[in-house]
């Protein structure tokens, strides 16, 4: 509870006495490039395989001859868009981006680099953390859209390769009863997750005390806390928007 209070105060402090916006533009671009390049490979691999596995398992579970094959395509699409692409990608990114954010801020803290910024009369929290949060909010949705495409494509490849259904059936299934809102739902979730991961990891790194050991602990703590928070938020958003 005290943790939550300090976290909320921290978020508030990001917006007080911040620097003029031009200062942030370059920083935000840098963070976008960092986050994007860093995570591209892992997102591509994870999402393709998850789509493939989903297709194979769905086909395996469909024993009734009365259910048409194209349903596999539809199910893969919905599972990928509603849950797998945004949530699994975010959990993976919590590991990759979250630990990087906490580690770099922790190192800056213990080597007094944050004090060096503070001493110039700059709001160091805002200067360092805001670009990371905004960068994550810009790049996470891009990565998740990519993950959704690749997930559905992975399902296509695996479904067709295992003769569970034909190409035409899969494509028909993917288009069958498509609800555009689901894509909006996916993006809303992703933006919330991006904020959660970037802010919790920053919070964890920014207040590191001690030495290199504590920086490592802050990184681990950042990943654990943001994963839990992402899953909790996932449940809450689903309750609010889908039920």
Partner 1 sequence: MIEFQGLHKTFGSNHVLKGVSGVLEAGKVNLILGGSGTGKSVLLKCLVGLLQPDDGAVLYNGRSFHESNVTEKKAIRREIGMLFQGSALFDSKTVEQNVMFPLDMLSNMEKGEKIDRVNFCLERVGLAGKNDLMPSEISGGMQKRVGIARAIVANSKYLFCDEPNSGLDPRTAILIDDLIKEITYEYNITTTVVTHDMNSVLGIGDKILYFQAGEKLWEGTRHEIYDAKVKEFNDFIFANIAMQELKNRN
The site for partner 1 (CB under 8 A) is made up of: 17, 19, 23, 107-108, 111-113, 115-116, 118-122
Choose between 114 and 229: whose C-beta lies nearer to partner 1: 114
Distance CA 60, CA 44 (A): 25
- The least distance separating partner 1 from the CB of residue 52, rounded to whole angstroms, comes to 38
Tokens found for residue 180 = 């555009």
Residue 73: how many other CB atoms lie within 10 Å = 27
- The least distance separating partner 1 from the CB of residue 101, rounded to whole angstroms, comes to 13
Distance CA 10, CA 16 (A): 10
Instruction: Give the residue from 87, 78, 180, 90 showing the smallest Cα distance to 139.
Output: 90
Choose between 115 and 236: whose C-beta lies nearer to partner 1: 115
DSSP state letters, 197-243: HHHHHHHHHHT--SSHHHHHHHHHHHHHHHHHHHHHHHHHHHHHHH-
- The least distance separating partner 1 from the CB of residue 16, rounded to whole angstroms, comes to 8
Cβ atoms of residues 91 and 47 within 8 Å:
no
Choose between 53 and 122: whose C-beta lies nearer to partner 1: 122
Choose between 19 and 78: whose C-beta lies nearer to partner 1: 19
Choose between 65 and 209: whose C-beta lies nearer to partner 1: 209
For the chain, give percent helix, strand, coil, nearest 5: 85, 0, 15
- The least distance separating partner 1 from the CB of residue 23, rounded to whole angstroms, comes to 7
Choose between 86 and 131: whose C-beta lies nearer to partner 1: 131
- The least distance separating partner 1 from the CB of residue 243, rounded to whole angstroms, comes to 45
* Cα distances (angstroms) measured from residue 98 to each of 1, 47, 57, 136, 161: 22, 19, 31, 10, 36
- The least distance separating partner 1 from the CB of residue 209, rounded to whole angstroms, comes to 12
């Amino acid at each position: 509870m005290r943790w939550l209070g300090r976290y909320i105060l921290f978020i508030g402090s990001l917006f007080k006495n911040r620097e003029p916006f031009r200062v942030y533009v370059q920083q935000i671009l840098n963070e976008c490039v960092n986050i994007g390049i860093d995570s591209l490979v892992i997102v591509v691999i994870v999402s393709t395989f998850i789509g493939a596995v989903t297709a194979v398992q769905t086909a395996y579970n469909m024993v009734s001859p009365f259910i048409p094959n194209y349903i596999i395509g539809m199910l893969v699409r919905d599972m990928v868009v509603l849950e797998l692409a945004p949530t699994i990608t975010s959990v993976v990114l919590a590991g990759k981006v979250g630990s990087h954010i906490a580690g770099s801020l922790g190192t800056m803290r213990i080597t007094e680099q944050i004090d060096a910024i503070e001493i110039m009369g700059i709001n160091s929290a805002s200067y360092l953390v805001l670009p990371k949060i905004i960068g994550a909010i810009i790049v996470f949705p891009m990565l998740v859209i990519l993950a959704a495409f690749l997930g559905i494509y992975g399902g296509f490849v695996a479904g067709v390769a295992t003769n569970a259904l034909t190409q035409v059936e899969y494509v028909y299934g993917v288009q069958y009863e498509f609800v555009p809102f689901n894509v909006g739902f996916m993006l809303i979730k992703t933006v919330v997750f991006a904020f959660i991961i970037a802010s919790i990891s920053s919070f964890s790194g920014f207040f590191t005390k001690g030495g290199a050991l504590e920086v490592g602990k802050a990184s681990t703590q950042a990943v654990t806390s943001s994963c839990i928070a992402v899953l909790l938020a996932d449940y809450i958003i689903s309750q609010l928007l889908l039920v």
